[in-house]
């Protein structure tokens, strides 16, 4: 097993390298960038000032004098007429004065040491930004996964036992409808009904805590934290438990129909003993081992719209705004961390398989 773990860890290195290389190459050809963003902001400010001076009648045919050599062959959009020395300073500031291979090599060396640099436009280290946003994403991802599993596992077992009954049919309808409704749409409905949209004003729709959170007692802090999470978690859980519910049901159905279950029943064991003493461990193998992956999915990809709707400033929103704003240090750092954790979680899932069922030997299979 140790040899298998070592091989998997060794394979993470080329995988991370490939992910970062492909993303870096795409960024090189993507339109826009931090330099162009600064130039666009400058151009907008100058045009706005000129419009106010001329009463909104344009530049009177004279144009905006920007100084410099007036070259028009700059590789940056909006740089025409600007001093090349100024453009050079911008390139040095954002690290674009070096060739792409050299920039990529430096980025990899820094990331190996978890040195992600500073944000281009926030004047704060990327690691500090990630630390600030991490509690929000962990809260949403962890609680959503725990609640969805707490609902889906008992429900899936019950559906398997009552397969084909009226209970199975109507719960399947509820699960499918819940899965079909987008989380953001259900979140909007919750805001309208319970957060002062049109009917009731019971729950808050901003942040994870109240302004007086530090002044509350321990019980008050827990209650305040849970109070803020009710609506966003309800919106996320609605569709999250559908897949695990059906997976649990199908796993139990497969095990219930096997010969060893029939033998246990013939020996006179109670249905509860058969179900939870024999079937449960085998049926829950694939469900429980998928828990880390489900958490990572919820942690990284499932909460962007919910974070936006409920003003929760987490990693999903941070990554999205960084991509839109061409804040490359944040983009690459979050991608690196997400990829690294995703690979680690895949390895963890395999180890959970072997812990639940020792008969599975990945090291023998790999050999």
Q: Is residue 47 part of a domain?
A: no
H or E segment to which residue 143 belongs = helix 126-161
Q: Is residue 34 part of a domain?
A: no
H or E segment to which residue 134 belongs = helix 126-161
Radius of gyration of the chain (CA): 27
Q: Is residue 189 part of a domain?
A: yes
| Mean of per-residue pLDDT scores for the chain | 78
Give strand pairing partners of 125. 118
Q: Is residue 57 part of a domain?
A: no
Q: Is residue 27 part of a domain?
A: no
Domain holding 211, by residue range, is 127-366
Taking CA atoms, 184 is separated from 48, 87, 287, in Å, by: 37, 42, 26
Residue 109, pLDDT score? 92
Residues of the chain with pLDDT under 70: 41-83, 197-198, 289, 293, 297-303, 356-367
Residue 197, pLDDT score? 63
Q: Is residue 281 part of a domain?
A: yes
Residue 55, pLDDT score? 47
Residue 170, pLDDT score? 92
- Work out the percent of the chain whose per-residue pLDDT is above 90: 6
Q: Is residue 48 part of a domain?
A: no
Residue 39, pLDDT score? 73
Domain CATH code at residue 323: 1.10.3720.10
Q: What is the pTM of this model?
A: 0.70
Task: List CB contacts of 95: < 8 A, sequence separation 6 or more.
Answer: 103
Q: Cβ–Cβ contacts within 10 Å for residue 235, how many?
A: 27
Residue 82, pLDDT score? 64
Task: List CB contacts of 148: < 8 A, sequence separation 6 or more.
Answer: 237, 240, 241, 244, 294
Residue 21, pLDDT score? 92
Q: Is residue 96 part of a domain?
A: no
Residue 17, pLDDT score? 92
Residue 59, pLDDT score? 39
Task: List CB contacts of 228: < 8 A, sequence separation 6 or more.
Answer: 203, 204, 207, 208, 209, 210
Structural domain tally of the chain? 1
């Amino acid at each position: 097993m140790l040899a298998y773990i070592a091989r998997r860890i060794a394979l993470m290195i080329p995988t991370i390298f490939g992910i970062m290389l492909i993303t870096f190459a795409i960024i090189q050809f993507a339109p826009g960038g931090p330099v162009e963003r600064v130039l666009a902001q400058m151009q907008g400010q100058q045009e706005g000032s000129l419009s106010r001076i001329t009463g909104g009648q344009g530049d009177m045919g004279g144009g905006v004098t920007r100084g410099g050599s007036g070259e028009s062959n700059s590789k940056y959009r909006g740089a025409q007429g600007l001093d090349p020395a100024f453009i050079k300073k911008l390139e040095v500031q954002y690290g674009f004065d070096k060739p792409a291979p050299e920039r990529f090599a430096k980025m990899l060396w820094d990331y190996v040491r978890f040195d992600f640099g500073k944000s281009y436009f926030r004047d704060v280290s990327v690691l500090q930004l990630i630390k600030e946003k991490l509690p929000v994403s962990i809260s949403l991802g962890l609680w959503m996964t725990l609640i969805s599993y707490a609902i889906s596992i008992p429900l899936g077992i019950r559906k398997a036992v009552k397969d084909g009954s009226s209970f199975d049919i109507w719960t399947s309808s509820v699960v499918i409808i819940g899965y079909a409704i987008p989380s953001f749409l259900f979140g909007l409905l919750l805001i309208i009904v319970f957060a002062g949209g049109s009917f009731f004003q019971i729950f808050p729709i901003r942040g994870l805590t109240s302004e007086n959170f530090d002044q509350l007692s321990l019980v008050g802090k827990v209650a305040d934290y849970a109070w803020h999470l009710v609506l966003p978690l309800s919106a996320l859980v609605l569709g999250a438990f559908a897949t695990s519910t059906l997976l649990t049901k199908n796993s139990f159905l497969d095990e219930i129909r096997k010969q060893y279950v029939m033998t246990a029943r013939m020996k006179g064991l109670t249905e509860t003993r058969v179900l939870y003493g024999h079937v449960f461990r085998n049926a829950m193998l694939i469900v429980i081992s998928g828990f880390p992956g489900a958490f990572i999915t919820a942690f990284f990809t499932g909460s962007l719209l919910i974070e936006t709707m409920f003003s929760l400033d987490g990693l999903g929103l941070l990554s999205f705004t960084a991509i839109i704003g061409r804040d490359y240090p944040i983009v690459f750092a979050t991608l690196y961390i997400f990829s690294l954790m995703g690979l680690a979680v895949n390895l963890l899932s395999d180890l959970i398989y072997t812990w639940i069922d020792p008969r599975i030997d990945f090291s023998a299979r790999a050999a």
